[in-house]
Amino acid sequence: MRIRAALVAVLLTAVGCGSGQTGAASDPEAALKVGVSPVPHAQVLKYVAENLAKDKGLKIEVVEFTDYVQPNTALVDGSLDANYFQTIPYLDTFKTESGAKLEWIGPVHVEPLGVYSKKHKKLTDLPSGAKVAVANDATNEARGLRLLAENGLIKIKAGAEKVPSIRDVAENPKNLEFVALEAAQLPRSLEDTDASVVNGNYAIDAGLKPATDALVLEKAEGNPNANGLVTRAELKDDKRIRDLLALLQSQQVKDYIKQTFDGAVLAV
């Protein structure tokens, strides 16, 4: 994510002041405060909290966020004990740009990224000069551009295939006009664009059905962008965190995801 200078300053202050333990880090009886995106993460975590946590002796407080920045900044400053909303590439970018010491604990599910349109039925219908919106954070922008490249709309500059940005588009036969927006704004952008590349959780939250509404979807097989559980370094080996991951990866949760999201969310 390209974090604004002011936000970096806040993060560095939080990291510098984060040595004092609070919440679950200092109190073994405290509830785990876990930050999540509303869909599907909050739904999955609430299922765990209400149906599975008691048998593990876990107390879970679900804290919802509607953006991709605050769940990490709140984890850094100790307001949260863990979060569940992001991928490893996103976490790595955040850590590199902020200096935060956060730990990936394990994967839970994949939300296939999709291209959506209210004006066109197929990608090949996009006209010359079509306006296409992508996420403005580095990880999801790269995923979106790779998806467009895999489907023949653009070609990415050699050497930039892993994390391409709009600047790395080497061939653009349709002269697509790219618009970078906050990921949460992408579903609403469909009124003003020819197509938008939308994260799975925001698509579902907006009432879109990835399995049927997307013009194209990322493939789940071999997808490196699983969403998973993240915590601070001092909690990475905490039994409560490990128990929470075990529940999130349990067969009960896999069955819940399959029954609830009809292929729009895939358990790992």
Mean pLDDT of all residues in 226-247: 97
Q: Are residues 106 and 228 in the same domain?
A: yes
From the list 218, 212, 86, the residue with the least C-alpha distance to 149 is 218
Same domain as 187, residue 66:
no
Mean pLDDT for 30-37 is 96
Whether residue 22 has pLDDT greater than 90:
no
Among 199, 217, 235, identify where a domain stops.
217
Tokens of 145: 């551009």
pLDDT at 3 over 60: no
Q: What is the pLDDT of residue 97?
A: 94
pLDDT attached to residue 6: 37
Same domain (yes/no): 144, 206: yes
- pLDDT reading at 5 higher than 90: no
Q: How far apart are CA 127 and CA 124, in angstroms?
A: 8
Please state the length of the chain. 268
Domain containing 178: what range? 114-217
Q: pTM for the full model?
A: 0.76
Instruction: Kindly report, residue by residue over 212-228, the tens digit of the pLDDT.
Output: 999 999 987 778 889 99
Predicted pLDDT at 4: 42
C-alpha 219 chain-centroid distance: 16
Alpha-carbon separation of residue 136 from 38, 57, 126, 144, 230 (angstroms): 20, 40, 21, 10, 22
Confidence check: pLDDT of 20 > 90: no
Q: What's the domain count of the chain?
A: 2
> Given this model, what pLDDT does residue 106 score?
97
pLDDT in tens, 107-142: 999 988 999 999 999 999 999 999 999 999 999 999
| Residue at 259: amino acid letter | Q
Only one residue has tokens 């996009």, namely 126
User: Is the confidence at residue 42, as pLDDT, over 80?
Assistant: yes
Q: Which amino acid belongs to residue 263?
A: G
Residues 124 and 200 in one domain: yes
Are both 120 and 94 inside the same structural domain? no
**Phi first, then psi: what are they for 189, rounded to 5°?**
-70, -15
